[in-house]
Amino acid sequence: MGKYELLRARLAAELPQLQAELALPASDGELALVHTPAYIEAVQHGTLSAAALREIGFPWSPGMVERARRSSGATIMASRTSVRDGVAANLAGGTHHAYRDKGSGFCVFNDVAVATRLMQTEWAREQASARSSQERSLRVAVIDLDVHQGNGTASIFQGDDTVFTLSMHGARNFPFRKEAGDLDVDLPDGCGDDEYLHALEQALDELERRFEPQRVYYLAGADPHEGDRLGRLKLTFDGLEARDRRVFDWAWQRRLPLTLAMAGGYGSRIEDTVQVQMNTFAVALSYWQMWQRWQNRVS
């Protein structure tokens, strides 16, 4: 938990161009676009079973509920901002292990799934009011590069051809029973920069062949880093920065609004995790600046 505060402090000190805003909590109605009413209610009132809480991995408290709601709210807010600005981020989120009806692996609500459904709903309403019927649904790509599979996200969007879920993850890492996403890339223990970046290139090529997204969510987990306690991979700071740059560049070349969520990071040294994330935000800022220059030129 300490990493969030450290990151926030370093961002304010070192990237003062970043504009930070406080996120509103996601409402019951927003959460219910993905989660079952019974699960939302059990989280809200602290009536989850002991087993359900064990699977989430931290104890219930009013603060835990508040945090989970605001984390989804931040991804919603960043989604709207990215449509306007090209790039926006949640300084948390990427809680991709949450299913419709249960939490798991430090994830309570699935922020990216909730935001995706809300953006699709708002988009459909705008299409209807503009009487434009060519496009039936907003197409969203989720590029999940956290070291753990985005199993909740894959499960939520299974069989939905409006959302493409791409996950690159450690084959032998949690979750040990993986869900089938649209594109799953299993990486061996000890995977290094070159092998990883090659796999990423192939995955983006395949995404391109199979899907035409209008929006991108990027889960930039810091846990593929070699100093991570849980990651089992061996990416360096430079390798992870190249990864980030590749994803941002891919979206930028296609002028696809990109919403960044942080996802995991459990460094033996917490400073290393924060450093990986600082590098991600520096890359994000540079692409945000490109968007602003481009928009100023064309407007």
Binding site for Zn ion (CB under 5 A): 146, 148, 221, 223, 264
| Shortest distance, position 120 Cβ to Zn ion, whole Å | 26
* Under 8 Å between Cβ of 97 and 118: no
Q: Among residues 97 and 117, whose Cβ is nearest to Zn ion?
A: 97
Phi/psi at 281 (5° precision): -70, -30
Cβ neighbours around 264 below 10 Å, total: 26
Q: Among residues 86 and 267, whose Cβ is nearest to Zn ion?
A: 267
| Shortest distance, position 74 Cβ to Zn ion, whole Å | 18
The burial class, CB within 10 Å (0-12 / 13-18 / 19+), for 209 is exposed
Q: Sheet containing 163-170: give its strands across.
A: 87-90, 258-261, 215-219, 140-144, 163-170, 183-187
| Shortest distance, position 148 Cβ to Zn ion, whole Å | 4
Per-residue burial over 197-208, b = 16 or more CB atoms within 10 Å of its CB, e = otherwise: beebeebbeebe
Quote the CA–CA distance of 92 and 115 in Å, as a whole number: 14
Q: Among residues 227 and 264, whose Cβ is nearest to Zn ion?
A: 264
Q: Among residues 164 and 174, whose Cβ is nearest to Zn ion?
A: 174
The residue nearest Zn ion at its CB is 264
Q: Among residues 123 and 218, whose Cβ is nearest to Zn ion?
A: 218
| Shortest distance, position 147 Cβ to Zn ion, whole Å | 5
| Shortest distance, position 52 Cβ to Zn ion, whole Å | 20
